[in-house]
Amino acid sequence: MPLISSFSYYGEMSAEGVTSDVRENYENGSSRLKARTLSRLKILAGLPRAEWHEGYFKKLSGTCEGLWEIRFEADNVQQRPLGFHLSATEFVILFWAREKGNKFAPKKACEIALKRKAEVLKNGNLKHALWLALE
């Protein structure tokens, strides 16, 4: 079955190419973090948006309104990549947050992600096709 959804991520262009803390977070992560990231993105990519259930994905509210989080645990830490659906089939990962005691780390995670969301909506060059192959 072909993938239904695709992912992109926030990154700024520099002389060396794309600079992205989202990607750096993955590249510098443990084997377990890499495996689970790949696994969860693959699962989500195989499902229509309407079936991105809460165990995997959650709409945020309050000061994080306008953002969604991908939810999984790796290395005993709740990983929470934040982003939004640019279209019915494309999800943009804006910032890689973690959750500790029901609070995001860093505390400004939503603020950063919302700022980046506005930037991406103005300038599509700030989002890039996911560096991972999901199939």
Partner 1 sequence: MPYGSPWSEQFVRQLSDKEVRSEFAADQIRARIALLIRSLREQSDRNWTQAELGERAGKPQNVISRFEDPNYGKMSLQSLFDLAAAFDLPVWIDMPKWEEWFALINDVPNQGTQRAGFDLDKLIEQAREGFPSEYAPIPTSGGAASAAAEAVRNMVMAPTQMDQIFGAPLNANAYPTNSNRLPLEKNDSAIGSAVCARNVAA
Binding interface with partner 1 (CB under 8 A):
1-2, 31-32, 34-36, 38-40, 42-43, 46-48, 50-51, 53, 55-56, 71-73, 132-135
Picking from 68, 71, 104, the residue whose alpha carbon sits closest to that of residue 86 is 68
Residue 88 Cβ, how far from partner 1 at the closest point, in Å?
16
End-to-end CA distance of the chain: 10
Q: Which is nearer to partner 1, 2 or 62 (CB)?
A: 2
Q: How far is the CB of 76 from partner 1 (least distance, A)?
A: 11
Among the residues of the chain, which ranges form H helices?
21-27, 31-45, 109-122
- Smallest gap from residue 50 Cβ to partner 1 (A): 8
Residues 6+ away with beta carbon under 8 Å from 31 = none
- Residue nearer to partner 1 on the CB measure, 24 or 51: 51
